[in-house]
Chain A
Amino acid sequence: MHANDLLLLLLAFAAAAFYVGRGRANHIAKLAGGSRQLHSLPDYHGHYTALCCGLPAVLLLILWIIFSGHVISAMVLDSLPAGQFLGDPGGRELLANKIANIAQGVLPKANQPAILVAAAEELNRLTQISRWSVTALASCVSLVGLIWARSRITPELQSRPRVEASIKYALFFCACVAVFTTFGIIFSVLFESLQFFQSVPVVDFIFGLEWSPQTAIRDDQVGSSGSFGAVPLFVGTLLVSAVAMVVAVPIGLMSAIFLAEYAHKSVRAYAKPALEVLAGIPTVVYGFFAALTVAPFLRDFGQGYGFSVSSESALAAGLVMGVMIIPFISSLSDDVITAVPQSLRDGSLAMGATHSETVIRVVIPAALPGIVAGIMLAISRAIGETMIVVMASGLAANMTFNPLDSVTTVTVQIVTLLTGDQEFDSPKTLAAFALGLVLFLITLILNIIALKVVKRFREQYE
């Protein structure tokens, strides 16, 4: 039986178990003299029975789904005579895929080696066996659970605390999904990066000055040894982010100050959400805007004044990225500025300071930790931003601090390295994961510091 059908069957069992359990509880209640004699309401006994019936069986099914494919394919591969896949893990995976394709009829059996066809048939046979056995086993487990739970129902059975405890565990599990995700990210990025660092030393990667990830497909190809020095990418990323921050910080901060301190309530009510529209526009739209409107405009504008501006300049990408980040900085700064207690302002104004003097000498210094944290979050966003730079900046890894030149960034390289047709284990694709690791660590550090600062700032004024 297929996994989906089996899952439905088990859910049906559990639903039936609910009615069995509740019926049993009602019956016992009647014998004992009314449902008030029960510790828990009949419904809870029903839920309890359903849980005992369904939960172990479904867990069993999930384990089977996760492991059976790998186990079966490993069994089939081990049954093949040695030397079929030359010992390297990539070849093993390819072979497993091929056998699976033959087994599913994607590849016609006719022109395949007999040994593979036999392996495919073996695969099908084992899959059948494992499907039937899991169906039988899971059904047995759920029936045993049902009978056991039903036999335990007595007026004293404390079903409600048990059901509620299991709900609490389920909720806890859901809360832990975020933790699993973090570990998943670390695991996936770190694991591939370690593989990458076996072929390219860490020092060469972090301090190397040349980036050209074209590795040779054949050994006799010339000029394509591939060098993985990531410094040009870091420089490019910093350059684009710096341009973005030069645009976003003054505009964002000044807007926040104006909207929080000066603007009339009605102006604020419209201007704030209108600015936040900028944050809701998808990044791919900004990328298109940068590549097709801003970059050509800057190029022509530069030509008019005798500058040579690359049509994939860091300036265009940075400008547009800055526009994207404006609402980010303005709304975070707005939050912290409005959180500064009014008494500070009143004190300053009472001493005869003008409004702007109050803002510059009192409000901003008081809000500074929060503002700095907001800017750090914005920088982490700029570094991790992908679509704008993918569409508007280039692929050439130039080492330059001139924003009119074309540069490439970490995220651009991750995308280009992973969207081509690549063998998964080549250093080229693994390099993308190493870049991802760097990106993750940098943004993680920025985020942790920023969130800490914000938290301390909030506590200070609350």
Chain B
Amino acid sequence: MSKEPIYLEKIQRSLVGRYRTERVFRGFGMLAVSLGLAAVLLVFVDIFIKGTGAFSATYIALDVTYEKDLLGIENLADQRQVNSGDWEALYKQALRRDFPDIRKRGERRKLYALVSSAAGYDIKDRLLANPGLLGSKETLWILADDDIDSYYKSWLDGNAYTARLTDGQIRVLDTLINTERMQLHFNANFLTRGDSREPEQAGIWGAVIGSFLTLMLTLVLSFPVGIAAAVYLEEFAPKNKVTDFIEVNINNLAAVPSIIFGLLGLAIFINLFQIPRSIPVVGGLVLAVMTLPTIIITSRAAIKSVPPSIREAALGMGASRNQMVLHHVLPLALPGMLTGAIIGMARALGETAPLLMIGMVAFIVDIPAGFMDPATVLPVQIFLWADSPERAFIEKTSAAIMVLLGFLVTMNISAVWLRKRLERRW
């Protein structure tokens, strides 16, 4: 009895330290969660800051005169004349008129380089849409080259980036800025065009369409097969070695690195089955094989969540197993399966590595029109742009990432919404 106070005292004394450990431990936990959340925030903010610029592009106001002689065109209806017309001469003349003191050949070339190489086509489209303008004069906002775009945007931020420009060009640009003939406009090209070597003309629409076609195929191939496999494993499969083997296979495939699926696609689909490279068909096949395990696993969970009483009631009423599954279990499990499919598709949308193996990294300008056209997909487009040396592509890459993340967020939110909306609690 006499020893008890000493124990208590010991415990009392140790409590201070133990409570401190408790607080430290708890603090570490909080720190870990905050670090994780900070990482999420950092990635999003970094991409956002880098990418917003790409949604606007620098335009230069030039007084363009649609002179017939300069163009070498008499009649706008004549296709051959239109095609051979010297459309670039129009903006070149406008630039010469605005900066008459630049006479040397090299300097002139630098002056013309201020304008995007696509400007001639833009002027052509403008005139063909309004043939009445031929011979008249108007002020046009003309797309600037990507270096000018970088310069103007950095100048607006107060820290002009001059590395790729000559002194003469900078003087011209300052004149243009001072006379308010340089402006940022919404960059519609970025959302409507295909890829280009020139950053100011590059757009993501081709990649978006490529992604869409590829994902359509992925969904059409993997969703029915995945559901069928899940139904078999949950409702029909006998408990034996074969079933175990199938299950082990599915679980392992879900954890196989995605690049291995690319090797599979290359060796089987391209070399053995002779499907052409770079087309959505082969991309869709590879992604379907890759997402199949995910879809099977989520579909099984959805089927499992249907209570056995439903099955027993159906069987008790004299339904066959097929009727029970088809008429009762499947409709009740479908919302869960759809959610799983959307999440699987979101994963497939972000996947890059296997598509590199099957040639979807090609530089493709045209917007794909079908499943057999060469195409690229959004993440691969991001990879290609991230590899490009031009500074302006950093902005484009970030903006493309924003678009990709936008799609992913939409898909995930719709999955959550769908689950909330259609979920049934038993």
Contacts and interface: CB of A to CB of B under 8 A. Distances in A.
Interface stretch (B77-85, B185-193, B197-205, B247-255): B247-255
Interface in B264-282: 264, 266-268, 271, 273-274
Interface in B31-82: 31-33, 35-37, 39-40, 43, 46-47, 50
Given A354-B22, A440-B256, A189 B263 contact: yes
A448 B321 contact: no
Given A189-B260, A282-B350, A292-B394, A271 B249 contact: no
A358 B380 CA distance: 48
B232 A271 contact: no
Contact of B255 (A258, A283, A377): A377
Contact of A415 (B35, B224, B356, B382): B356
Contacts of A286: 43
B256 A384 contact: yes
Contacts of B394: 292
Nearest to B394: A292
B401 A436 contact: no
Interface stretch (A114-122, A163-171, A301-309): A163-171
Contacts of A174: 224-226, 228-229, 232
Interface stretch (A11-19, A82-90, A323-331): A323-331
A414 B353 CA distance: 10
A171 B352 contact: no
Given A278-B40, A327-B36, A384 B259 contact: yes
A202 interface: no
Contact of A284 (B43, B232, B382, B412): B382
B380 to A, nearest CB: 8
Contacts of B11: 352
A261 B253 CA distance: 32
B40 A433 contact: no
B293 A288 contact: no
Q: Which of A255, A261, A391 is packed against the most chain B CB atoms within 10 Å?
A: A255
Nearest to B50: A292
Interface in B4-49: 11, 18-19, 21-22, 25-26, 28-33, 35-37, 39-40, 43, 46-47
Nearest to A167: B322
B414 interface: no
Contacts of B225: 174, 177
A447 B255 contact: yes
A172 interface: yes
Nearest to A253: B32
B264 A181 contact: yes
A178 B246 contact: yes
B231 interface: yes
Main secondary structure of the interface of A (DSSP, over half): helix
B196 interface: no
Contacts of B346: 280
A283 B352 contact: yes
A173 to B, nearest CB: 8
Interface string A151-189: 000000000100010011011101111110110110111
Interface string A406-426: 000001001100110000100
A171 B405 contact: no
Contact of B292 (A177, A255, A419, A436): A177
Contact of B266 (A289, A292, A418): A418
Given A181-B292, A278-B40, A287 B386 contact: yes
Contact of A164 (B289, B322, B408): B322
Interface residues of A, number: 91
B43 A285 contact: yes
Contacts of B94: none
A443 B253 CA distance: 10
A250 B32 contact: yes
Interface in B229-252: 229, 231-233, 236-237, 245-246, 248-252
Interface string B130-156: 000000000000000000000000000
A432 interface: yes
B257 interface: yes
B264 A281 contact: no
A416 B242 CA distance: 39
A182 B264 CA distance: 9
B361 interface: yes
A356 B321 contact: no
A422 to B, nearest CB: 11
A443 B404 CA distance: 29
Contacts of A147: none
B122 interface: no
A66 B19 CA distance: 71
Contact of B357 (A177, A185, A418): A418
A443 B263 contact: no
B351 A384 contact: no
A274 interface: yes
Given A258-B26, A387-B383, A175 B252 contact: no
A433 B19 CA distance: 56
Interface in A241-263: 250-255, 257-259, 261-263
B351 A262 contact: no
B93 interface: no
Contact of A281 (B32, B43, B258): B43
Given A171-B231, A384-B259, A440-B260, A289 B43 contact: yes
A287 B225 CA distance: 32
A293 B19 CA distance: 40
B63 to A, nearest CB: 40
A254 B264 contact: no
A284 B21 contact: no
Contact of B382 (A285, A330, A386): A285
A100 to B, nearest CB: 9
B297 to A, nearest CB: 10
B405 A281 contact: yes
A432 B246 contact: no
B303 interface: no
* Residue picked from A185, A278, A284, A424, most chain B C-beta under 10 Å: A284
A275 B33 contact: yes
Given A283-B350, A384-B260, A288 B401 contact: yes
Nearest to A386: B353
A178 B292 contact: yes
A352 B12 CA distance: 12
B26 to A, nearest CB: 6
Contacts of A176: 246
Contact of B252 (A182, A187, A254, A359): A182
Nearest to B230: A175
17 contacts: A171-B236, A181-B249, A188-B268, A250-B32, A251-B32, A261-B29, A282-B350, A283-B352, A284-B401, A288-B386, A289-B46, A293-B46, A323-B39, A384-B259, A390-B353, A390-B383, A391-B386
User: Nearest 9 A-B pairs (CB), nearest first?
Assistant: A384-B257, A258-B29, A282-B350, A188-B267, A254-B32, A174-B228, A171-B232, A386-B353, A356-B25
Interface of A: 66, 69, 160, 164, 167-168, 170-172, 174-179, 181-182, 184-185, 187-189, 191-192, 250-255, 257-259, 261-263, 271, 274-275, 277-278, 280-289, 291-293, 323, 326-327, 330, 352, 354-357, 359-360, 377, 380-381, 383-387, 390-391, 411, 414-415, 418-419, 424, 432-433, 436, 439-440, 443-444, 447-448, 451
Interface of B: 11, 18-19, 21-22, 25-26, 28-33, 35-37, 39-40, 43, 46-47, 50, 224-226, 228-229, 231-233, 236-237, 245-246, 248-253, 255-264, 266-268, 271, 273-274, 289, 292-293, 296, 320-322, 346, 349-353, 356-357, 361, 379-380, 382-383, 386-387, 394, 397-398, 401, 404-405, 408, 412
Given A174-B225, A275-B33, 20 more contacts: A175-B233, A175-B237, A177-B229, A177-B292, A178-B249, A184-B289, A185-B256, A189-B263, A189-B267, A252-B32, A258-B33, A262-B26, A281-B43, A284-B382, A285-B401, A326-B36, A326-B39, A391-B386, A411-B259, A443-B260
